[in-house]
C-alpha cells in the first residue's frame, strides 16, 4: 500500500473532509478540550480515550445512551470498554450505591458486603477458590504477577504481543518504557510453536504466563482454545503459574472464557463490570496460592489498599453480579452479541469490502482488512485511514465506540440500537465502498 495509490489519496481527502465536519459539529467539545489542556497533559488523564483531532466530551449518560457537550445523542456501543455492562445508572446499582451512601462508604474496617461479594465471585468463576480485591485491573495484574514471582522464586513472565494488562503492562505496538519492570518474554499470540521455542531456554526461570483469553484492546482477537490448552500444559511443564487476565473477557460467559473453554488457570484477574461500574479489580485463584495472602500466615505476603473493600464498590459489585448479570443474563447478552456481529459482517460482506468484525459474544473488534486475524501483527495490517474514517462516519450517525475499533455491548442496549448500528455500517459500506479498492 503506498500513498501514491489513487484510492489512498481519496481516503486522505475523505478523511480531511470528515475531520472538518467533525470540528464544525463539535465546537463545545473542542473548547472543553482546549480548557482541559491547561491542567492535564494534552488535556487527558486516560490515554485510551484520547482521539485526534480532539476527543468529544460527554456530559450525560442514561441507559444505553450518551450526550456530548454539543448536544448530540449517541447509542453507547463502547459501554466503557466493557466496564459499563449495566448501562448508565441502572436502578439496582443505584440502590446499592445509595445503601452505601446511607450507611457509610468506607469504614477502615471489615464490612458486611465484602465476604458476600467474594463468595459470589468464587461461585461464579470456576478457577477462583479465594479472591482479593484491588482498585483496578492494572493493580490486580501487578498483584498476581508479583505473587507468582514471590511464590515460585523465579523471574520470567511470559506475555504476548498485543496484550494489554493495564497502564504498566502495555504490550501493544512498540510496548511502553514505563511498563512495570518485570523480566518479560514476549510471545506471539496463537503461536504455540513459537511460544515454546521462546520459553525453552528459560523454562527453569518461568514464574508466570499472563494471557488474555481473547486479546481485547488489540482488536477482540480470540485465542484458539488449543493455544490456551497448550499454555496450560506449558505452565505445568515449567512449574509456572498460569494467569488468565479476564478483566474484559469474564463477561463473555457466566464463568468467563475459562468456563466457556473449560481451561482453568491457576490465577485469574478481574475488573471492569465486576465492580458494578465502580473502580475495581480482583485477583484470585487456587486456594494454596491465595493462602499466601492470609494475614494469619506470618510468612505470607502483605496486600494493603485503602479502597480494597470500599462499601460503594462491594455493594455495587455484589448487586451487579447476583441481581443483574446473572448466568442467564450473561448467556442472553452474548447470544445477542453473536447475532449482531453476524449482521455487521453480513453488511460488509454484501459489499465485498475488506473489512470485518471480530470478537466473541458481547465484545466486537472492527478491522479494515479481510482474511484471518490471529494476532496483533495481523490486526496491524488493517487500513488505519479507513478505520479512522469509520469512526468519523459512525459518530456523525450517533454511534459511540472506541476510535481504535472497539465496541462492547451493555444490557441496556436494545434491538432499536442494534438496528441503528447496522444501518450506520450499511451506510458506511455503501458510501465508502469505492475507497476500499486499495485493499482488494
Ligand atoms: C485485559 C485487561 N486487563 C487489565 C486492564 C486494566 O484494568 P484497569 O483499567 O482497571 O486498570 C484492562 C483495561 O482495559 C484490560 O483490558
Q: State the DSSP string of 188-230.
A: -TT-HHHHHHHHGGGGGGEEEEEE-SEE-TTT-EEPPHHHHHH
Q: Separation of 246 CA from ligand 1 center, angstroms?
A: 9
Report CA(270)–ligand 1 centroid distance (Å): 8
- Which protein residue's CA is at the shortest distance from atom 14 of ligand 1? 166
Instruction: Dig out the grid coordinates for 199 from the structure.
Output: 520459553
Helix (H) or strand (E) holding 391: helix 384-396
CA 78 – ligand 1 centroid, Å:
14
Range 91-324 classified under CATH 3.40.640.10: yes
pLDDT confidence of residue 7? 78
DSSP structure string for 119-162 = HHHHHHSTT-SEEEEESSHHHHHHHHHHHHHHHH---EEEEETT
* Residue that is written with C-alpha cell 463473555 in the block: 252
β-bridge pairing 356-360 and 58-62: unpaired
> Closest Cα to residue 213, out of 342, 360, 83, 105?
360
**Best CA proximity match to 327, nearest among 259, 264, 245, 415:** 259
Locate the ligand 1 atom nearest the alpha carbon of residue 136 and give its number: 10
Question: Read out DSSP for 156-174?
Answer: EEEEETT-B-STT-B-STT
For a pocket test of ligand 1, which of 136, 139, 166 has the largest count of ligand atoms closer than 8 A to its C-beta? 166
Angle at 436 between CA 434 and CA 440, to 5 degrees: 120
**Under CATH, which number does the domain 6-76+328-439 receive?**
3.90.1150.10
**Are 346 and 132 within 8 A, CB to CB?**
no
Would you give per-residue pLDDT tens digits along the chain (440 residues)? 444 566 788 999 999 999 999 999 999 999 999 999 999 999 999 999 999 999 999 999 999 999 999 999 999 999 999 999 999 999 999 999 999 999 999 999 999 999 999 999 999 999 999 999 999 999 999 999 999 999 999 999 999 999 999 999 999 999 999 999 999 999 999 999 999 999 999 999 999 999 999 999 999 999 999 999 999 999 999 999 999 999 999 999 999 999 999 999 999 999 999 999 999 999 999 999 999 999 999 999 999 999 999 999 999 999 999 999 999 999 999 999 999 999 999 999 999 999 999 999 999 999 999 999 999 999 999 999 999 999 999 999 999 999 999 999 999 999 999 999 999 999 999 999 999 975 54
Q: Which atom of ligand 1 is nearest to the CA of 141?
A: 4
Question: What pTM value is reported for the model?
Answer: 0.97
Closest CA to 270 of 242, 289, 249: 249
Decide: 394 and 431 in contact? Cβ < 8 Å: no
Positive or negative torsion for Cα 184, 185, 186, 187: negative
Task: For strands 281-285 and 130-134, give the pairing.
Answer: antiparallel
Which residues fall within 8 angstroms of residue 16, CB to CB, at 6 or more apart?
none
CA of 165 to the centre of ligand 1 (A): 5
**For residue 439, what pLDDT is reported?**
52
Which helix (H) or strand (E) segment is 356 a member of?
Answer: strand 356-360
- Which residue of 136, 137, 406 sits with most ligand 1 atoms within 8 Å of its CB, as the best mutation to test the pocket? 137
pLDDT at 440 (0 to 100): 46
β-partners of residue 170 are 164
pLDDT at residue 6, rounded to an integer = 67
Please list every protein residue whose CB sits less than 6 Å from any atom of ligand 1: 81, 136-138, 141, 164-166, 212, 216-217, 245, 247-248, 271, 281
pLDDT for 1 equals 44
| Of 369, 423, 435, nearest in space to 399 by CA | 423
- Locate CATH 3.40.640.10 in the chain: 91-324
Parallel/antiparallel/unpaired status of strands 183-187 and 406-408: unpaired
Of the residues 248, 283, 308, 406, which should be mutated to test ligand 1's pocket, given the most ligand atoms within 8 Å of the CB? Answer: 248
**Residues of each domain in the chain carrying CATH 3.90.1150.10:** 6-76+328-439
- C-alpha 325/C-alpha 235 separation (Å) is 32
CA of 339 to the centre of ligand 1 (A): 26
Q: Whose CA is nearest to atom 3 of ligand 1?
A: 165
For ligand 1, the distance from its centroid to the CA atom of residue 46, given in whole angstroms, is: 12
Amino acid at each position: 500500500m503506498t500513498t501514491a495509490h489513487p484510492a489512498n489519496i481519496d481516503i486522505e481527502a475523505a478523511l480531511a473532509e470528515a475531520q472538518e465536519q467533525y470540528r464544525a459539529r463539535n465546537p463545545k467539545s473542542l473548547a472543553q478540550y482546549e480548557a482541559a489542556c491547561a491542567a492535564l497533559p494534552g488535556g487527558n488523564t486516560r490515554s485510551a480515550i484520547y482521539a485526534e483531532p480532539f476527543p468529544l466530551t460527554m456530559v450525560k449518560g442514561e441507559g444505553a445512551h450518551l450526550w456530548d457537550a454539543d448536544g448530540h445523542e449517541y447509542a453507547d456501543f463502547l459501554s466503557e470498554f466493557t466496564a459499563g455492562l449495566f448501562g448508565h445508572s441502572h436502578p439496582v446499582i443505584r440502590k446499592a450505591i445509595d445503601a452505601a451512601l446511607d450507611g457509610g462508604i468506607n469504614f477502615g474496617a471489615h464490612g458486611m458486603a465484602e465476604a458476600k461479594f467474594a463468595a459470589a465471585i468464587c461461585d461464579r468463576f470456576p478457577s477462583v477458590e479465594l479472591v482479593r480485591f484491588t482498585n483496578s485491573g492494572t493493580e490486580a495484574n501487578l498483584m498476581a504477577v508479583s505473587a507468582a514471582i514471590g511464590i515460585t522464586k523465579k523471574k520470567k513472565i511470559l506475555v504476548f504481543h498485543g496484550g494489554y494488562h493495564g497502564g504498566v503492562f502495555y504490550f501493544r505496538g512498540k510496548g511502553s518504557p514505563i511498563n512495570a519492570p518485570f523480566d518479560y518474554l514476549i510471545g506471539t499470540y496463537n503461536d504455540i510453536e513459537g511460544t515454546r521455542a521462546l520459553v525453552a531456554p528459560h523454562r527453569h526461570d518461568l514464574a508466570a504466563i499472563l494471557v488474555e483469553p481473547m486479546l481485547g484492546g488489540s482488536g477482540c482477537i480470540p485465542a484458539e482454545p488449543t493455544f490456551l490448552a497448550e499454555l496450560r500444559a506449558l505452565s505445568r511443564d515449567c512449574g509456572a503459574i498460569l494467569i488468565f487476565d479476564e478483566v474484559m473477557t469474564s463477561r463473555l460467559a457466566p464463568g468467563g472464557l475459562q468456563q466457556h473453554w473449560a481451561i482453568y488457570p491457576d490465577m485469574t484477574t478481574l475488573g471492569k463490570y465486576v465492580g458494578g461500574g465502580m473502580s475495581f479489580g480482583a485477583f484470585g485463584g487456587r486456594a494454596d496460592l491465595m493462602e499466601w495472602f492470609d494475614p494469619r500466615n506470618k510468612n505470607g505476603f502483605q496486600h494493603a489498599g485503602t479502597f480494597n473493600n470500599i462499601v460503594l464498590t462491594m455493594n455495587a459489585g455484589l448487586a451487579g453480579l447476583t441481581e443483574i448479570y446473572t448466568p442467564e443474563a450473561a448467556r442472553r447478552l452474548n447470544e445477542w452479541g453473536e447475532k449482531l456481529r453476524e449482521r455487521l459482517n453480513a453488511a460488509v460482506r454484501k459489499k465485498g469490502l475488506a473489512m470485518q468484525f471480530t470478537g466473541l459474544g458481547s465484545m466486537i473488534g472492527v478491522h479494515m482488512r479481510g482474511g484471518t486475524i490471529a494476532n496483533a501483527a495481523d490486526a496491524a495490517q488493517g487500513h488505519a485511514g479507513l478505520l479512522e474514517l469509520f469512526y468519523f462516519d459512525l459518530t456523525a450517525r450517533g454511534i459511540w465506540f472506541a476510535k481504535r475499533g472497539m465496541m462492547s455491548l451493555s444490557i441496556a442496549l436494545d434491538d432499536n440500537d442494534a438496528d441503528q448500528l447496522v444501518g450506520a455500517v450499511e451506510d458506511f459500506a455503501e458510501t465508502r465502498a469505492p475507497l476500499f479498492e486499495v485493499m482488494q
